[in-house]
Amino acid sequence: ILNVEQSPQSLHVQEGDSTNFTCSFPSSNFYALHWYRWETAKSPEALFVMTLNGDEKKKGRISATLNTKEGYSYLYIKGSQPEDSATYLCALNNAGNMLTFGGGTRLMVKP
Amino acid sequence: GAVVSQHPSRVICKSGTSVKIECRSLDFQATTMFWYRQFPKQSLMLMATSNEGSKATYEQGVEKDKFLINHASLTLSTLTVTSAHPEDSSFYICSATDRDRGIYGYTFGSGTRLTVV
């Protein structure tokens, strides 16, 4: 069983703060790392799929980096807004199609 | 963009009855469908993978006779929880992709909260 860990489990920030969370995973047999944004009662929304060591991806105020050799990925949110409040999931592809998820980081942004 | 519609969003059933959860891909052909379960304060755990027209592949510890998966068409997959018991109460969610998008195209449903009383 793969161990995909996310930290912190939850985070409260003020509007305008920048924040980041971590996803750590086994570095062996790495294929891809996914980040999702999941709001309550909605479908998880794909943010990034990252495959190469050193990958950096950006989508508006959200960006992510990947280190496959040491087995971690960071997700950054610049200037958090209340609408960024959600659970952020990372998931590892290491073989075939299946994803192994971390436990998520629940972000709450206060106005 | 690709959309997967999952129904029902919530269901309460009596112990011993069966419950069917549906996932439909609305604008793409879901060649592969994944079913996940999430218990409180835990991560999404893969239960089974199904390819259209084939039998589902179940993860270790998931009873195939209890969790029946049907993926008979490219737009519909169903999960039936048979003879449900309170310990089956959980959050169930599907995810689908197609041959073209592969790992770049996992599209999730919005999940089903099952409560067995």
| pLDDT score recorded for residue A27 | 87
For residue A49, the one-letter residue type is: V
Three-class SS of residue B87? helix
Contact B110 A41 (CB under 8 A): yes
In the predicted model, what is the mean pLDDT of residues A43-61? 96
The pLDDT tens digits for A14-44 are 999 999 999 999 988 899 999 999 999 999 9
Q: Kindly report whether the peptide bond that precedes residue B40 is cis, defined as omega within 30 degrees of 0.
A: no
Distance from CA of A74 to the nearest CA of B (A): 18
Cα A29 to Cα A25, A69, A79: the distances in Å are 11, 11, 35
Which residue from B43, B46, B102 is facing A103, i.e. has the nearest CB? B43
B50 touches chain A (CB under 8 A): no
Distance from CA of A45 to the nearest CA of B (A): 8
Question: What residues of chain B lie within 8 A of the CB of A104, using their CB?
Answer: 43
pLDDT-derived band at A98, boundaries 50, 70, 90: confident
Three-class SS of residue A36? strand
Question: What residues of chain B lie within 8 A of the CB of A31, using their CB?
Answer: 103
pLDDT-derived band at A65, boundaries 50, 70, 90: very high
Distance from CA of A58 to the nearest CA of B (A): 16
Question: What residues of chain B lie within 8 A of the CB of A44, using their CB?
Answer: 93, 108
pLDDT-derived band at A94, boundaries 50, 70, 90: confident
In whole angstroms, what is the distance from residue A1 CA to residue B25 CA?
A: 29
In degrees to the nearest 10, what's the CA dihedral of A80, A41, B106, A2? 80
Residue B79 has pLDDT above 90, yes or no: yes
Distance from CA of B55 to the nearest CA of A (A): 16
Structure tokens at B82: 């048979």
Cα A8 to Cα A37, A65, B97: the distances in Å are 15, 17, 30
| pLDDT score recorded for residue A2 | 78
Which residue from A36, A89, A97 is facing B103, i.e. has the nearest CB? A97
What is residue B54's DSSP assignment? S
Which residue from B6, B42, B110 is facing A103, i.e. has the nearest CB? B42
Question: What residues of chain B lie within 8 A of the CB of A101, using their CB?
Answer: 36, 43-45
Size of interface A-B (CB pairs under 8 A): 49
